């Protein structure tokens, strides 16, 4: 089953660290953790999520807030790769649709490079090549977080949804551990964990209320 908000958080999956000291949720107890899950070929990740994560890092790192970046892949597997993440960490160079979007908005330096260096640890999600038919548990782990009352829906509806999810899983070349474990809907996604290791929020897209949530956790005893 997917990780649940309000429950002890499981560790995220990571295959490689390309920047910073290796860590995970169980190593960050007594800290608030912001895990920013992105893809290197994701314009929105670099237009909004990464800059926001950097602002949180700069503003709250002295208050015991840890920010971690985790690159994943649920599409464009030829671009969302460990090699391109290493290139990003080493040189600031971006690729694909990310490069096009940032170039159009005038946010790149010469050589298709970011005008800043991402300051927090960066890792790569644990990817497993898929083969064969997806199992029922895998299918339901994707359905239940999105449709909690799925079992009470009409049979024809349930059959249709299961077939859709099967088709989606068949189209995937890889399974990404963190993406699947937290039932993420896309990137960017932000995972917020409190100082007791409790999962407090999982958000897809822009998180305009992230700082408010962090301040709320900081104010707790």
What is the full DSSP assignment across 33-85? EEEEEE-TT-HHIIIIIHHHHHHHHHHHGGGTEEEEEEE--SS-TTTS-HHHH
Residue 121 shares a structural domain with residue 150: no
Residue 58 shares a structural domain with residue 161: no
Number of domains in the chain: 2
pLDDT digits (tens, 9 = 90+) for 5-56: 899 999 999 999 999 999 999 999 899 999 999 999 999 999 999 999 999 9
CATH number, residue 29: 3.40.30.10
Confidence of residue 221 (pLDDT cuts 50, 70, 90): low
Residue 59 lies in a domain: yes
Radius of gyration of the chain (CA): 18
Residue 191 lies in a domain: yes
Residue 9 lies in a domain: no
Residue 156 shares a structural domain with residue 193: no
Residue 43 shares a structural domain with residue 140: no
Residue 26 lies in a domain: yes
pLDDT digits (tens, 9 = 90+) for 116-159: 999 999 999 999 887 777 778 878 887 887 888 999 999 899 98
Residue 119 lies in a domain: yes
Residue 1 lies in a domain: no
Residue 101 shares a structural domain with residue 164: no
What tokens does 213 get? Answer: 């949530």
Alpha carbon of residue 162 to chain centroid: 24
Residue 76 shares a structural domain with residue 143: no
Which residue segment(s) compose the domain that 190 sits in?
Answer: 16-126+178-211
Residue 6 lies in a domain: no
């Amino acid at each position: 089953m997917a990780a649940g908000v309000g429950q002890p958080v499981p560790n995220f999956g990571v295959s490689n660290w390309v920047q910073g000291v290796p860590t995970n949720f169980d190593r960050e107890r007594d800290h608030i953790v912001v895990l920013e899950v992105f893809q290197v070929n994701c314009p929105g990740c670099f237009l909004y999520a990464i800059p926001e994560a950097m602002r949180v890092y700069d503003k709250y790192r002295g208050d015991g807030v840890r920010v971690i970046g985790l690159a994943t892949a649920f599409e464009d597997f030829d671009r969302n790769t460990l090699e391109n993440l290493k290139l990003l960490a080493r040189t600031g160079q971006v690729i694909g649709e990310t490069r096009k979007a940032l170039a159009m908005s005038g946010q790149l330096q010469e050589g298709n490079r970011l005008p800043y260096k991402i300051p927090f640890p960066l890792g790569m999600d644990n990817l497993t090549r898929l083969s064969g038919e997806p199992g029922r548990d895998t299918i339901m782990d994707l359905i239940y977080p999105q449709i909690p009352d799925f079992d009470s829906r009409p049979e024809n509806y349930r059959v249709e949804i299961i077939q859709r999810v099967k088709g989606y899983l068949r189209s995937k070349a890889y399974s990404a551990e963190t993406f699947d474990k937290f039932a993420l809907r896309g990137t960017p996604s932000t995972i917020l964990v409190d100082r007791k290791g409790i999962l407090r929020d999982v958000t897809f897209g822009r998180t305009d209320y992230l700082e408010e949530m962090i301040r709320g956790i900081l104010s707790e005893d």
